[in-house]
Amino acid sequence: MTNPRDRRYHTPGVLKLPNDSVARLRPKLQGRAVCVTGGAGFIGGHLVDALLSLGCRIRVIDDLSNADGRHIAELVDMEPERVQFVHGSILDDRALDDAVRGAHTVFHLAAVSSVPRSIAEPERSYAVNALGTLRVAEAARRAGVGRIVYSASSSAYGEGERLPKVESDVPAPVSPYAASKLAGEHVMLAWAKSYDLSTVSLRYFNIFGPRQPADSPYAAVIAVFARALLSGRAPVIFGDGLQSRDFTFVANAVLANLLAATADRPLRGEAVNIGSGSRLDLLQLARLIAERCGATHLPPRMEPPRAGDVRHSQADLTLARELLGYSPVVSLEDGLSRTIDWYRGVRDHCANDAGT
Ligand SMILES: NC(=O)c1ccc[n+]([C@@H]2O[C@H](COP(=O)([O-])OP(=O)(O)OC[C@H]3O[C@@H](n4cnc5c(N)ncnc54)[C@H](O)[C@@H]3O)[C@@H](O)[C@H]2O)c1
């Protein structure tokens, strides 16, 4: 099903969770049946790797609208008894029922996942992210699922001045993406209250790491900068470069999902920040990436700002610590090094392939 030459860059285990986390999580997750929507995507793929290594049985549903399917195909090849793939949309109830059947936990990550794409395609983005989340909640309810862990977004905060962002801040979405992801949170809260379904919304701040797509017009900033600098091109910054983000390595988001799935306390639609708790502006980020790429001679090229982007963001992690016992396990610097190493590996692999 997959080309063995691709395996080196798509195999599980790119991320390793700390041993003490694994020791605490394994007894709770071993043998558990779970469903991962959007499990062929960037974060979903790493989550599936972790769930597999912790002994879960996993069904993934993904329509492959933003994933090439190689990673999930490889996992199905390797572990056909424990990983099943439903190629379908979360807007299709039959496919969803198939995916959710028998699951104790649903990790809901499927979404049109980019702000610029939502500006270009607001209706599709809203349909998948908001209505799709309602469909996932309904399918979970039909199937008697124990808990939904929803991948929400810090974009819900919008332009509020106050930093760091606290969950009690009034949301003020400034893009169709942010509005649709916030609607998904409301579904999580309302379904918990109305139907006694255990749900939680993890508001991710900018997540990055290996396997994040770098080659689409909607790719995320760290992937785009790494690809440009490793190819000898200057990265492009939209705006003055002083806009800042809480960049969070993907292992931290995966850990948050696992903690949310295994938390003993009842979860009732709470929205919880998941980030690193610090922030960096884009000029600083470009410099850190350039250092790791050996390309400090390539300063960023500045272009006009883009619609829908917020100016600053940074997570307050107090609630995440209290409710889930979450704190980041991989620092920004370490995460950046691991990510750049991975992109460099892909570049060299492709260059070798081209030469053979
Ligand atoms: N990456 C981040 O920084 C970030 C930040 C905040 C929130 N999130 C949220 O985390 C989740 C995962 O994000 P990601 O970065 O891995 O994005 P991603 O695009 O890599 O993953 C989303 C997956 O959903 C799939 N999908 C899209 N529409 C679908 C549909 N109708 N039915 C089934 N599958 C569908 C895509 O093919 C893709 O594989 C998303 O819900 C996103 O909104 C991500």
Alpha-carbon span 53 to 128, nearest angstrom: 29
Whether 133 lines ligand 1, by a CB cut-off of 6 Å, is no
Alpha-carbon span 35 to 48, nearest angstrom: 9
Q: Which entry of 126, 150, 157, 177 is annotated as an active-site residue?
A: 177
CB 223 within 8 A of CB 208: yes
Alpha-carbon span 38 to 48, nearest angstrom: 10
Q: Classify residue 117 by its DSSP letter.
A: H
Whether 184 lines ligand 1, by a CB cut-off of 6 Å, is no
CB 158 within 8 A of CB 182: no
Alpha-carbon span 307 to 147, nearest angstrom: 35
| φ, ψ of residue 343 in degrees (nearest 5) | -65, -35
Continuous segment of H or E residues that includes residue 84 = strand 83-87
* Mode of pairing for the β-strands spanning 207-208 and 147-153: unpaired
Helices 250-262 + 42-53 axis angle, to 10 = 60
Whether 56 lines ligand 1, by a CB cut-off of 6 Å, is no
CB 212 within 8 A of CB 222: yes
The closest residue, in CA terms, to atom 17 on ligand 1 is 113
* Two tokens, residue 211: 């396997």
| CA geometry: angle 329, 272, 154, nearest 5 deg | 90
177 has catalytic annotation? yes
Q: Classify residue 154 by its DSSP letter.
A: G
Maximum Cα interatomic distance, the chain, rounded to a whole number of Å: 60
Alpha-carbon span 1 to 10, nearest angstrom: 13
Could you list the pLDDT tens digit for every one of the 356 residues in the chain? 444 444 444 445 568 889 999 999 999 999 999 999 999 999 999 999 999 999 999 999 999 999 999 999 999 999 999 999 999 999 999 999 999 999 999 999 999 999 999 999 999 999 999 999 999 999 999 999 999 999 999 999 998 889 999 999 999 999 999 999 999 999 999 999 999 999 999 999 999 999 999 988 889 999 999 999 999 999 999 999 999 999 999 999 999 999 999 999 999 999 999 999 999 999 999 999 999 999 999 999 999 998 878 899 999 999 999 999 999 999 999 999 999 999 999 888 877 776 65
Alpha-carbon span 168 to 118, nearest angstrom: 26
Distance 65 CA to ligand 1 centre (A): 10
Burial code (b: 16+ CB inside 10 Å, e: under 16) for 243-255 equals: bbbbbbbbbbbbb
Class of domain 4-205+250-277+314-329: alpha beta
